[in-house]
Structure 1
Amino acid sequence: MPDADRPQELPARLLTDPQMIDACRARDFARVFRLVKTRAGIYPSMIARRCDLTPSRVGEVITGSRRLQHMDVIERIADGLRIPGHMLGLARRSWETPPTLAIAEQELPPAALPEQETPASLPSPGVDSILAMAANTPLSRATLEAFQSSIEDYWRRDDQHGGEALRPAIVGQLRFVVALLKEHRPSSLQNGLYRIAAELARLTGWTYFDARQYSQARVYFTEALQLAKEIDDRQFMANVLACMSLQATYQDKPADSLALVTAAQDQARSTPSTTPRVLSMLSMREAFAHATLGSRGATYRAISEAHDHFEQTQTSDPDPSWVTYFDEPKLIADTGIAHGRLGEAATAEPLIMEALRREARTNMRGRAFHSFWLARMQLDQGKIDQACHTATQALEPASAVASERVTGHLREFYGQLAPHRNEPEALAFEARLRELLAPVSGSLRP
């Protein structure tokens, strides 16, 4: 199924809401559809399409003039809206097991050995039983470390390929951890679970943000904030608010962006454990907000603070894992982008170029993202041949990662190139664009 047609998950907060649970238990689809509309932004026409129903039938259900009772229709609703089977009194749906847990069955050899009787004390070897055994396994520090390792792997793969394909597994793990939080255990383990859940919620929000699905991103970012607040992890709350600030910048809401990053800095400064690297990252997000507002002096001050904080970083600092991406090349690149947002292309160009020279080549999205920024800065200065060469080099990493944000920067460069379309360099770039990103180039056709 194409990514655009794949049903997206309902927010975890909705699936755990007592109103939703009660409506599903009663199979009151009028209430279910209304909750899905108001809490997840999935409107009746979308419900109809995803559940293979007619729009008029969905409307009749919502108004209470029709009830849905046929099992095949209820199953279509569960699958189309991604409502776990147990909530509607159904068997576990095939999509509920995260891809990372799915195991392909092996065919039996032609001459199979006689079947041995399964001891009565053992559960059946179904996925439900296996997961039940896993859930009943005592939680330990090693379990938390395993969760953390998986999160770090998700981030690495997100940089290389984008988060769209990872999202079902991330959401599945988030729901599993949130369910574990309902049990009583020592505070050290419980706090560790809250941190894991908060990181998974932020990561889910990030995948939606990178896909430019902003309303869904905000739902998960808000959930991450709530989880971090439960254990008063103010550094992580600052991190989530910084993500929301960056999203507001992309939505062209600079005042919201500045308010969110200011709140992030307040949270970070209220705890002595906040490291200079975290403060540096937050100052750079502040610079983005000021630059989008066109406040030149405030942007310069925030950039200077970011560099001052970064100079205080030590290899022995207890930096949280989520901020380690903010290294010196990233600081340099973001400094260039802040100047670029102010329209200072000549200042931005050498900074972004230096960051690309030093940036890890495995970070496909980062390289594509920064390369398109560099190309735009070069084009702003009339360097058409250099800009087209830079953008052409960016196409390979851009085609390797599923990221609507990167595609958006490609579209912006392509639009900026319009007055120069007949130049030989521009024609060569467009030919390469059509070769590697045919669907994108089609959508960019003037």
Structure 2
Amino acid sequence: MPGRSWEDIDIPAWAWERPQTQRLLRDRDVPGLLRLAQAHGASQTRIASATGIAQGRVSEILSGKRTVGSLQLIERIADGLGMPDHARILFGLAPRSPAAASAADSDLSGPLRERLDIASVDQSLIGLFEAQTQNLRLIDRKLGAHYLLAQSQAHVRQMHDLLRHSLPGPVRRGLAQALAEAASLTGWQALDSGRASTAWRYYEIAKAAARESDDATVLAHVSAEQVYVLLDSGREREALATLRAARNRSGTSLPALLSSWLWAAEGEVHAALGHEAETQRALEHAFSLLPPEPHDPSLPFLMLDHTHLLRWRGHCLAHLGHDEAIEDLTRALDGIAPLELGRAEAGLRTDLALAYAAHGDTTQAHRQARRAAELSDKSGSVRQRTRLARLLPQRRTSGGENVE
């Protein structure tokens, strides 16, 4: 490429032709492409210099701690890696050469035809996608979003690309439903990683896919989950209006388990607003609607039983400063701790710390906060660490002990 200097990255032409590299390009796997540059002698410092991206950010992209969504940033990476035109087309960018652009528009035997060929979807493939989403969901509950966000984003991109190249009909609707559930999970993982705007975008993908699937249950769930982006951003009133709209739009057709979940979520929003009576009424609805056998295979995205509702009620009561929160949360902790659900336990112990602090028991508040911080660090939950910092600002007891 004319004008390139000795500092530029030199990936040989044959490397761009390899099937593994072409897969990275089609999937827009930026960390994989940066590792390709490293394999051909480029250090992180050299990558940073060639792309104009700070070295620390390059390191975060390589480790999966940061994703790349900006088209401008993607263009800079393509330029910095010296990506040839045929690779740019696979990467979803316009070629630099006018001749290559004309060839790309007129030749369906190249990358575009390949995309159309792989868009053949059947129910067995959808089943595999759903199983993959469920595996990601189960691992997320155990380890947290920190380990999975990049993988979940790639999973969503693959389904989203297939959906855009699928024919209308029942199979496309099934794929849309699978995409909605996967995008919602990815939105939740992004929120847990402290990336509110990224979470919002994935929930928008989830809602659009849910509408195409024509599944009112999935649409109600993903719409209600998006409320937590508003709640975490301090927009409680908008969160309440959005949540009520999601439930009202679905009418009375929702499964009892999902209805119970929606009422519990509304109770949480009311608690954040300081609406004591409304919080209590919403939680009563949630408990009354919870089925005797709450496990529902048709709702794999919901993990809700009596123990989890106790935890939810304790969370709300802790926000309202009620001593009864300690009893609910302690009982819920007995049921959740043995399951080794790190993020859930971290949230529960954060609520316990808040409840004990309101009760005046600073020793227990400190103990629970410290354990919540340990679990949050282990799972990489930025959301829980932020909650700890916001709900339990550092304070001192009469003996000079810090309570966090």
- Tell me: CA distance 1:84–1:423, structure 2 relative to 1, closer, same or farther (3 Å): farther
2-side partners of 1:5 and 1:167: how far apart? 8
Residue 51 of structure 1: how far off its partner (Å): 4.3
1:327 to 275, 288, 305: 305
Partner Cα distance (1:6, 1:336) in 2: 32
Aligned residue in 1 for 2:264 = 284
Secondary structure, aligned partner of 1:261: helix
**Are 2:147 and 1:165 aligned?**
yes
**Structure 1 residues 408-436: Cα deviation after superposition (integer angstroms, max 9, x where no partner):** 12323551x41328545x4xx88xxxxxx
Matched, 1:245 2:227: yes
Aligned counterpart, 1:385: 363
Match of 1:275 in 2: 255
Q: CA 1:196–1:302 in 2, change beyond 3 Å: closer, same or farther?
A: same
Partner of 1:307: 287
Matches of 2:363 and 2:294, distance apart in 1: 41
Q: Give secondary structure in 2 for the equivalent of 1:87.
A: coil
1:230 to 204, 207, 212: 212
Q: Deviations over 1:335-376 (max 9, x none)?
A: 1111122222x0111111111110153210110111111011
- Could you tell me how far apart the structure 1 residues matched to 2:343 and 2:174 are? 30
Q: Does 1:87 align with 2:97?
A: no
Alpha-carbon RMSD across the aligned residues, in angstroms, is: 3.4
Q: Does 1:8 align with 2:14?
A: no
What is the CA–CA distance in structure 1 between the aligned matches of 2:142 and 2:191, rounded to whole Å? 16
CA contact (8 A) 2:224 2:243 kept: yes
SS at match of 1:164: helix
> Cα 1:255–1:83, aligned 2, differ >3 Å: closer, same or farther?
farther
The secondary structure found in structure 2 opposite 1:321 is coil
Aligned-pair CA distance for 1:2: 3.2
Opposite residue 328 of structure 1, the aligned amino acid is H
The partner residue of 2:333 within 356, 364, 372 is 356
Unaligned runs of 5+ residues in structure 2 are 1-58, 97-110
Q: Which residue of 2 aligns with 1:146?
A: 128
Within 5 Å, which residues of 2 pair with 1:20-419? Answer: 33=72, 51=76, 71-72=79-80, 75=83, 85-89=91-95, 136=118, 139-184=121-166, 187-269=169-251, 272=253, 274-310=254-290, 312-314=291-293, 319-323=298-302, 325-344=303-322, 346-359=323-336, 360-412=338-390, 414-415=392-393, 417-419=394-396
1:191-225 CA-to-partner distances (Å, cap 9, x unmatched) read: 21111111122122112211222122111111111
Contact residue 237 and residue 267 of structure 1 kept, 8 A: no
| Paired AA for residue 379 in structure 1 | A
Residue type of the partner of 1:8?
T
Letter in 2 for 1:197: L
Gaps of 5+ in 1: 12-31, 34-46, 53-69, 91-127, 431-446
1:232–1:354 Cα change, 3 Å? same
| C-alpha distance 5-75 of structure 1, shift in aligned 2 (>3 A) | farther
The secondary structure found in structure 1 opposite 2:380 is coil
Amino acid at match of 2:171: L
Say if 1:296 and 1:7 are closer, same or farther in 2 by CA, change over 3 A.
closer
Deviation at 1:133, TM superposition (A): 10
Aligned counterparts of 1:332 and 1:134: Cα–Cα separation in 2: 49
CA displacement at 1:227 relative to structure 2: 0.8
Relative to structure 1, is the Cα distance of residues 261 and 421 closer, same or farther in structure 2, using a 3 angstrom cutoff?
A: farther
**CA–CA distance in structure 1, aligned partners of residues 226 and 158 of structure 2:** 25
Which residue number in structure 1 is paired with residue 35 of structure 2? none
Within 1, Cα distance between the matches of 2:137 and 2:372? Answer: 21
After TM superposition, give the deviation of residue 187 of structure 1 in Å. Answer: 2.7
Contact 2:257 / 2:294 at 8 angstroms: preserved in 1? no
Structure 1 CA distance for aligned equivalents of residues 317 and 66 of structure 2:
39
Task: Name the counterpart of 2:48.
Answer: none
Tell me if the contact between 1:333 and 1:370 (Cα under 8 Å) persists in the aligned partners: yes
Give me the whole-angstrom Cα distance separating, in 2, the residues matched to 1:421 and 1:194.
58
User: Hey, what's the Cα distance between the residues in 2 that align with 1:317 and 1:165?
Assistant: 27
In structure 1, give the amino acid aligned to 2:68.
E
Are the aligned partners of 2:120 and 2:166 in contact in 1 as well (CA < 8 Å)?
no
Tell me by how many angstroms 1:317 deviates: 5.2
SS in 2 for 1:349: helix
Within 2, Cα distance between the matches of 1:84 and 1:342? 54
Q: Distance in 1 between matches of 2:89 and 2:348?
A: 39
- Name the CA shift for 1:135/1:423 in 2 (closer, same or farther; >3 Å): farther
Q: Is the 8 A contact 1:361 1:367 kept in 2?
A: no
State the TM-score, normalized to the length of structure 2.
0.72
Task: Give the CA deviation at 1:172.
Answer: 1.8
CA deviation digits over 1:153-199, x for unaligned, max 9? 11122222222332222222222212222344573322211111111
Query: Shift in Å at residue 83 of structure 1?
Result: 10
Q: Calculate the TM-score normalised by the size of structure 1.
A: 0.65
Equivalent-residue separation in structure 2 for 1:304 and 1:181 (angstroms): 40
SS in 1 for 2:226: helix
TM-superposed CA distance for 1:334, in Å, is 0.5
Identity of aligned residues (%): 21
Question: 1:332 is paired with a residue of what secondary structure?
Answer: helix
Q: Deviations over 1:27-64 (max 9, x none)?
A: xxxxx65xxxxxxxxxxxxx59x948xxxxxxxxxxxx
